[in-house]
Structure 1
């Protein structure tokens, strides 16, 4: 088992890792406890995740990236100063960055997650779709590869039919996506999507697929070890969204039968196994209830914000499993069955009167609900400062 885990994240995500490590330490009597080192900015010295960590290393601000949490060179320096033998990245920042995972590997540090090769394969939406087709995961009609020119776009659009959607090969977060309802919108949408993809992700490559309408957004939680075992413990419904960002999630999906959920689990496990994947991931689909049709959307090669509802309905701890799998341990026995139902709501520090713009500042009062069946994952307390530099989600 690891001795020193550095957390390359902040806020709620970092606190989640700290809690999991504390539980592992309590369970592993007779062995040295795991030390958690928080990498943080100078402004975050008093943040909750830094207070709760065993040690801290300050990330220096440089001109190489918008935030030190994205600066590969600075992160590498801090990891060496931390004397870490493993790192946990959670979600956001460098969680799906294969270039950073390679740097970590070159430093001789274990990346608690997939290999850079598996991350590239499944993080590339074009390659992921091609692999999905090979293992019979349902895929919507699409261009079958990248679309580069206007002529390519017109040819594929004619074969696929309207409405369609143009998507960036890389990235996510609702960027690099445009719906096209008719032929006269196609060329402008192609140029704008390519430009946005280049600006947002440094990769202008896009593809085209049929627009799936009146669909639910469902996803399968998977975790795989180095011994050929793959669990697919939870199927979640994440259809309530705002600006392509999930707001309310629940497990399991209220519109799917057990047979449908079991089928999605099976094909999702086969997909990550075909990619020689190790660690936690989420396979996302669109589901049209009236036609009872599923279509593959993408794979997120990391843990998701909404993972707690799978934990609540299976009794497993996905973060502890991530650490154990990365340490070479096999998944313990059979995948637990789902039970009950769980709903997660995201709490964002935003100003509703200003179009839900982020509302940073000092937390004057904070009181979360308590009681049986309730769980709150957060990285803030009363008196803490919510900075303007990061995502507005605080719990």
Structure 2
């Protein structure tokens, strides 16, 4: 087992890794140290403080983040004296060139071999391999499409509507739907341009659009001894512009037999590529005719992996580390028990088209209770920067069945309080979303939210006035706690200092409107709030 593990990631993934390493050390007597790589602005961030050691990433001259700059990462890794590297999800997690560089440096790369990453990460090569191994694929171009003339020929064969995709795309980028023949030329050119600008690779391909489909994915993990597990099947159909918002395990629309078939197909595909480590095989499912179409393989752990962990009892991050150290997957694959649902709470303004809404976290209260898990990488007082992912936390709920999991998740979200100075979160949007009949019934497909999104945006959040008053009281208590701590600290020094101000001024924003409150406590659970000269 390696002893010095560098984390080429930040925030929640880095905290998740540190927790897994501590458990492994306790469980097996290992002495693995974690080393956080971080920017200067992140020196006091939770993920840095949680690690055993840290190494500063210097600013780079290129426009990219230092988390993406191979030369700067190599310098930091050498300075860290690490013997292994964990990349999580995002940044260089699916970069075969970085995996190769780690191997050349003599480091254990916790992930698949670079060759398997290239083959499966290339969406065209992955589709060709899927066809060879009997995995179903939708009608497609059969390879890259290099010119508009070729695109028009393939459109006649595939039929419209269709999708144009970047070979190296991911995260909802490099995808365009063509619903009319007249839109083909513009969509083809724009997808090529976006692919080159975003991924440095302009190659695209085309495939039939599976309308009204469900996004189904299979979690896989493989060791170096030929054993492949497929422990979980997830449904990630509730999306906004190809970005997942709600994920669950298992799928409310698949039978046990269908899930078993998908597991077998996924194992055959990754085995043919000589895969090692954790990954996800993604499919589109058409409930009307009960057919599947292979989409792609994500050669990394997914953001939504906790729902599989919650229903199986596995720790996929610990399994990643054990497999990378040469351990075997032994015993039977644990079955999925119950149902789990996850939502991503983001620092975004749903009322402004989900524009980023970063800022300083002044109040951070997370839910607890039976079946509730929260994964986060921030703490009160930290700044959510505009430069990186806007996710604040993943809230996961497990239940004996789907209705119980959904009920627990709604309760947990209501118990979540995150106040961002100068920003906001998607909490209200998520609560409205989870109460929609299509979500409760499990009928929502991948395009449902884009169809009803405008309607939801125009509907004011229920009880918004009560929510504002409640948050104002939460802020009052948070500031009181800070002042109390300051008083006690000064008292210990022999010179207690106390404020003689009664009440607090609190300013909150909602739907572009600013509300100023004067809050004071007049009893054990009684408060007086004055709002803009009205009480």
1:220-231 aligned at under 5 Å gives the runs 220-231=218-229
Does the residue aligned with 1:365 lie in a helix, a strand or coil?
Answer: strand
Does the residue aligned with 2:117 lie in a helix, a strand or coil?
Answer: helix
Runs of 4+ in structure 1 deviating by more than 6 angstroms, as ranges, are none
Match of residue 319 from structure 1: 317
1:26 to 2:21 alignment: no
Does the residue aligned with 1:363 lie in a helix, a strand or coil?
Answer: strand
**How many Å apart are 1:183 and its aligned residue?**
2.0
1:96-135 aligned at under 5 Å gives the runs 96-135=94-133
Residues in 1 aligned to 2:352 and 2:155: alpha-carbon distance in whole angstroms: 38
Within the candidate set 92, 102, 114, 1:94 is matched to: 92
Does the residue aligned with 1:276 lie in a helix, a strand or coil?
Answer: coil
**How many Å apart are 1:360 and its aligned residue?**
1.4
Residues in 1 aligned to 2:254 and 2:350: alpha-carbon distance in whole angstroms: 34
Match of residue 153 from structure 1: 151
* 8 A contact 1:162–1:181 mirrored in 2: yes
* 8 A contact 1:348–1:394 mirrored in 2: yes
The range that moved more, 148-157 or 264-273, is 148-157
Paired residues in the alignment total 393
The range that moved more, 146-155 or 81-90, is 146-155
Match of residue 9 from structure 1: 9
1:10-89 aligned at under 5 Å gives the runs 10-29=10-29, 31=30, 33-89=31-87
1:245-264 aligned at under 5 Å gives the runs 245-264=243-262
Residues in 2 aligned to 1:159 and 1:360: alpha-carbon distance in whole angstroms: 46
Match of residue 341 from structure 1: 339
Residues in 2 aligned to 1:360 and 1:189: alpha-carbon distance in whole angstroms: 32
**How many Å apart are 1:65 and its aligned residue?**
4.2
RMSD of the TM alignment (CA)?
Answer: 0.9
The range that moved more, 332-341 or 253-262, is 332-341
Residues in 2 aligned to 1:296 and 1:366: alpha-carbon distance in whole angstroms: 40
1:166-205 aligned at under 5 Å gives the runs 166-205=164-203
Deviations 1:351-375 (A, max 9, x none): 2333221111110101110012100
Residues in 1 aligned to 2:145 and 2:127: alpha-carbon distance in whole angstroms: 14
Higher relative contact order (CA 8 A, sep 6+): 1
Deviations 1:156-201 (A, max 9, x none): 1111111111111002121111111222221221111111111111
* 8 A contact 1:2–1:85 mirrored in 2: yes
Residues in 2 aligned to 1:281 and 1:22: alpha-carbon distance in whole angstroms: 23
Match of residue 351 from structure 2: 353
**How many Å apart are 1:117 and its aligned residue?**
0.7
1:223/1:180 CA distance change after superposition, 3 Å? same
The range that moved more, 330-339 or 212-221, is 330-339
Does the residue aligned with 2:134 lie in a helix, a strand or coil?
Answer: coil
Q: Which runs of 5+ in 1 are unaligned?
A: none
The range that moved more, 153-162 or 219-228, is 153-162
Does the residue aligned with 1:68 lie in a helix, a strand or coil?
Answer: coil
Within the candidate set 162, 165, 172, 2:163 is matched to: 165
* 8 A contact 1:11–1:394 mirrored in 2: no
Within the candidate set 370, 373, 376, 1:375 is matched to: 373
Does the residue aligned with 2:375 lie in a helix, a strand or coil?
Answer: coil
Residues in 2 aligned to 1:349 and 1:165: alpha-carbon distance in whole angstroms: 30
Residues in 2 aligned to 1:171 and 1:101: alpha-carbon distance in whole angstroms: 18
**Structure number with larger C-alpha Rg:** 2
Taking structure 2 as the reference length, what is the TM-score of the superposition? 0.73
